[in-house]
Amino acid sequence: AEWLAAANARRSVRSSAAVGTDAAALPKSGHGNDAEAEWKGAGARLLTELEVMQAQLERAEKAAAEAGALEVRLAEADAELYKLRRAEKALSAERAHTEAFRAEIAELQEALAEERKGRTSVELKRAAAQARANELASALKDAEREVAELVVTLLI
């Protein structure tokens, strides 16, 4: 900012000299008009250089602002990437838990199927035993009836 203020002050002095308001300050040589033209030309070149420098400064400031904005966006992207990586790790852990649960469920289903097979076998055996017991009970009743008939026949 100080540099710019100093450059503007020099520009102001050169501008007033260029329009001839401060002709006494101009260097004098053998031909006054030549020196004045030379001085005005040098002033114009310096003004042009100053304007070029100001334009370069503005472009540099704009580039710096854009770089700052890009740095902010980069930091935000890094933060988002960190969050995504943490989420990915959590998801991976959840997948491992899910696979463990699936394996456990498969084992339980297999055990349940075996138990059902065993239960079915036991139920079939129980049903067969019940049927045999019913047959024996029926045969016993028949035998008791026959014995009762024989007793009645013997008593008569």
Give 21-66 pLDDT, tens digit per residue: 444 444 544 455 787 888 888 888 999 999 999 999 999 999 999 9
- pLDDT value at 150 more than 70: yes
Q: What is the mean pLDDT of the chain?
A: 83
Contact 89, 46 (CB under 8 A): no
Contact 29, 35 (CB under 8 A): yes
CA 156 to chain CA mean position, Å: 104
What was the pLDDT predicted at 72?
A: 96
Nearest of 40, 38, 42, 45 to residue 18 by alpha carbon = 40
The Cα–Cα gap between 139 and 143 comes to 6
What was the pLDDT predicted at 8?
A: 67
3-state class of 20 per DSSP?
coil
CB neighbour list of residue 29: distance below 8 Å, 6 or more residues apart: 35
Residue with tokens 């649960």: 101
